[in-house]
């Protein structure tokens, strides 16, 4: 049974001081339903992705809040898995469809991060790690460990890390909804202030407010003017939360597991993918991702990026939206936005095969989706 992306919508990403969690969620829900050409009463269930509204807004039960924005109070729930919440909510929605419980559902991801002071935000992002062993680390600190392992093993360079950020800011420049529209030079990135050696400020994705939604259906849609994208592969990999228990620090096993499942289900290999939104919470995360997803050999992701293989004209276009780095990373929205953004590119006939890759924590959870035009 095919899951069709009937509609999609992404709000502006950024520091949205005049918009609340509820404003963003409502805008994305209404936008995706309108884009689908369906009506609110066609939506049988709503799946909400969010990480931190409990801590940030003292608001839980977001499923019920989303449900009351849609006529007829569809069945609702919220899925959380740190920064992979969006991918997990997508999986939950797809399984609900494939179980024949529903024929049309909506997934909305939302995060309102800028109302909290930065100490709270830092604290709540750390809630994605394991409090028994890693509570002293910040997220940049964990990814710095992964970066150092990669540098030591493969000689990945400062310029290669910067090339990831430069390329994503270049891509984001053309995405009107991206948080940043600023092109950066390698020098600016390489000389930005140190956060967790070797990661610098411009290696890191920002704190972002935003929401994204998709309408998924297994029904044949009447209106055929537009060729909608379908989900043809999905995978879900899991690994230890604690870096200390990982098999490897130069590879995210959760990603390789998820990718293998998704390629197998789609009947494709990495070579068939033309475009991908990958989880570049830090520049090193994109290098790991493009290797672990099979686009480049292990250890060659930095070099490939520097050589232009991950932008238009190269082997595979990585993060055309600007990725988490330039488009922004409203945590619960990210995994849904990746799918929404790719669905739009496929509908515009810019590509025919796309991949979305969403990671939670420092690699404990990974979700891969493959989309086809």
Query: Applying CB under 8 A, which residues contact a copy of itself?
Result: 22, 45, 51-52, 54-55, 57-65, 67-68, 73-82, 88, 91-92, 94-101, 123-124, 126-132, 236-242, 245, 254, 360-361, 364-365
* Cα–Cα distance measured from residue 183 to residue 166, given in angstroms and rounded to the nearest whole number: 7
> Based on CB atoms, which residue is closest to a copy of itself, 94 or 286?
94
Q: How many residues does the chain have?
A: 373
CB closer to a copy of itself, 17 vs 222: 17
Q: Which residue is catalytic, options 83, 150, 236, 279?
A: 83
342 within 8 A of 371, measured Cβ to Cβ: yes
Residue closer to a copy of itself by CB (options 188, 238) is 238
Closest to a copy of itself by CB, 242 vs 347, is: 242
73 vs 312 by CB, closer to a copy of itself: 73
Tell me, rounded to whole angstroms, the distance of Cα 319 from its chain centroid.
Answer: 10
CB atoms within 10 A of CB 168: 30
Min dist. Cβ of residue 62 to a copy of itself (A)? 8
Shortest spacing between CB 301 and a copy of itself, in angstroms: 24
CA nearest 345: which of 211, 230, 229, 234?
229
Local structure of residue 257 (DSSP, 8 states): H
Torsion angle, alpha carbons of 208, 257, 130, 48, to 10 = 40
The single residue of 150, 169, 279, 329 carrying the catalytic annotation is 329
3-state class of 123 per DSSP? helix
The yes-or-no answer on residue 83 being catalytic is: yes
Report helix, strand or coil for 224: coil
- Please indicate whether residue 204 is annotated as part of the active site: no
Question: Is the previous residue joined to 367 through a cis bond, with omega within 30 degrees of 0?
Answer: no
- Asked whether 114 and 52 are in contact (CB, 8 A), the reply is no
The H or E element containing residue 48 is strand 45-49
Q: 3-class SS at 14?
A: strand
Residues taking part in catalysis: 83, 329
């Amino acid at each position: 049974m095919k899951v069709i992306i009937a509609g999609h919508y992404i709000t502006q990403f950024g520091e949205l001081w005049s918009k609340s969690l509820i404003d963003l969620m409502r805008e994305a829900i209404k936008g995706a339903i309108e884009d689908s050409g369906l009506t609110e009463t066609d939506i049988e269930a709503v799946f909400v992705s969010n990480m931190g509204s409990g801590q940030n807004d003292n608001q839980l039960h977001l499923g019920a809040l989303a449900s009351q924005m849609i006529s007829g109070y569809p069945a609702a729930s919220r899925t959380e898995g740190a920064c992979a919440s969006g991918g997990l909510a997508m999986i939950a929605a797809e399984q609900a469809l494939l179980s024949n419980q529903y024929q049309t559902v909506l997934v909305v991801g939302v995060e309102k991060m800028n109302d909290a002071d930065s100490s709270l935000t830092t604290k709540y992002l750390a809630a994605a790690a394991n409090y028994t062993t890693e509570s002293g680390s910040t997220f940049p600190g964990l990814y710095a460990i992964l970066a150092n392992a990669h540098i030591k093993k493969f000689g990945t360079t400062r310029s290669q890390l910067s090339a990831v950020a430069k390329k994503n800011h270049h891509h984001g420049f053309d995405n009107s909804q991206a948080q940043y529209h600023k092109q950066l030079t390698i020098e600016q990135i390489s000389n930005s202030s140190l956060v967790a050696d070797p990661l610098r400020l411009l290696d890191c994705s920002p704190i972002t407010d935003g929401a994204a939604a998709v309408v998924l259906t297994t029904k044949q849609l009447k209106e055929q003017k537009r060729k909608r994208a379908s989900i043809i592969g999905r995978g879900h990999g899991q690994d230890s939360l604690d870096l200390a228990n990982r098999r490897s620090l130069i590879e995210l096993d959760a990603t390789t597991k998820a990718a293998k499942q998704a390629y197998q289900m789609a009947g494709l290999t990495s070579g068939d993918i033309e475009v991908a939104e990958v989880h570049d919470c830090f520049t090193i995360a994109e290098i790991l991702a493009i290797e672990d997803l099979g686009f480049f050999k292990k250890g060659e992701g930095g070099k490939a990026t520097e050589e232009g293989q991950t932008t238009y004209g190269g082997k595979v276009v990585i993060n055309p939206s600007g990725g988490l780095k330039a488009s922004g990373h409203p945590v619960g929205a990210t995994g849904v936005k990746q799918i929404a953004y790719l669905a739009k590119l496929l509908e515009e006939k810019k590509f025919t095969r796309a991949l979305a890759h969403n990671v939670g924590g420092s690699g404990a959870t990974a979700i891969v989706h493959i989309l086809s035009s």
